[in-house]
Structure 1
Amino acid sequence: MIAWIGIGANLGDARANVVDAIERLARLPGATLLQASSLYRTAPIDSSGDDYVNAVAALDTDLDAHALLQALLAIEQAHGRERPYRNAPRTLDLDLLLYGDDVIDDAPTLIVPHPRMHERAFVLAPLAEVARNLVIPGRGAVSALLAHVNDQAIVRLDAV
């Protein structure tokens, strides 16, 4: 199964945290890192704090969606992720964006596709870089959706 992971951080050394998360995803048992986007800088949305560093990564995985989510949460915890309130600044945030073409609604634990990914430049721009024709079930192609978020400032930093 191909899973797409959204990666973001805006506390501590955000760039290093995102790069380390990609390296940890590459070592994840039951998964193979297929590709990762460049890093991007974005302003917080519905949040506060410093700008975010964001990226996306594709994994080929034998893990089911819930097991993959638990592995992502463990990587966040290794980076000291705290959740004092909704959309709090974070040392690392890993979101399961897509799990193949599956549509999963096990709210509040897991919703795939990620419910707001089609509204976020920090997800769509990195996805467009590495998988422009990727289709988000129920929403459409990344390339088409990207035009709807061009009012959100995003700057490509560099390749991982």
Structure 2
Amino acid sequence: MMLNTALEYRTAYLLLGGNLGDRKANLHQAIKLITENIGEINAVSAIYETAAWGKTDQPAFLNQAVAVKTNFSAIEVLDKALDIEKKLGRVRKDKWGERLIDIDLILFDDAVIDIENKLQVPHPQMQFRKFVMAPLVEIAAEVIHPVLGKTISEIFKNITDDLEVNKL
């Protein structure tokens, strides 16, 4: 009997962000660690600067989206992303608070996942946040949101978030 040893690859779309320290260097280091620990990066957006969202009395954030070809499950990608955050010095204090690095799993192929208090894919707030959608549309314009049934480009065109997002 022949075993199928081919690995099944999926595409994980991650949003990187941070507003403390050398923000650009932190994004670059996160991308390096994602490549080493999660998979091959297929696409990287430009870097965008955005005023803090949710908790506004803090420095502006830099955000960047990446598409990663991986053979890990969504929960494994999340766990590895959290490990990368820790390696880069992330300390979780306040929801929406300042941070050296944040890595969010936004989409995982066309999967819809809801593991209570652990992981929701697609990210449940992505379509409302310009700081997520601006970099994502750059690398995944034609990807279809598995719940809304619209492309990322269509969602971005209709976003009502008026937060200023500036491409660097």
Normalised-by-shorter TM-score class: over 0.9
* Equivalence for 2:94: 85
Describe the superposition over 1:37-81 as per-residue Cα deviations: whole angstroms up to 9, x where unpaired.
Answer: 110000111023110000000011110111111100011001111
Distance 1:28 1:78 in 2: 12
**Unmatched runs of 5 consecutive residues or more in structure 1:** none
Question: What TM-score results when the alignment is normalised by the length of structure 2?
Answer: 0.88
Question: What TM-score results when the alignment is normalised by the length of structure 1?
Answer: 0.92
Describe the superposition over 1:65-122 as per-residue Cα deviations: whole angstroms up to 9, x where unpaired.
Answer: 1111110001100111111121111100000111110000002101100111111111
Q: What is the RMSD computed on CA atoms of the aligned residues?
A: 1.2
* Contact map agreement 1:22 1:36 (CA 8 A) in 2: no
Distance 1:79 1:24 in 2: 9
**Unmatched runs of 5 consecutive residues or more in structure 2:** 1-9
1:100 to 91, 103, 109: 109
- Residues 1:111 and 2:120 aligned together: yes
Kindly, what percent of the aligned residue pairs are identical? Answer: 33
Report the secondary structure of 1:27's partner residue.
helix
Structure label with greater radius of gyration: 2
Q: Which has the higher strand share?
A: 1
Distance 2:164 2:94 in 1: 25
Q: CA deviation at 1:150?
A: 5.7
* Equivalence for 1:145: 155
* Equivalence for 1:154: 165
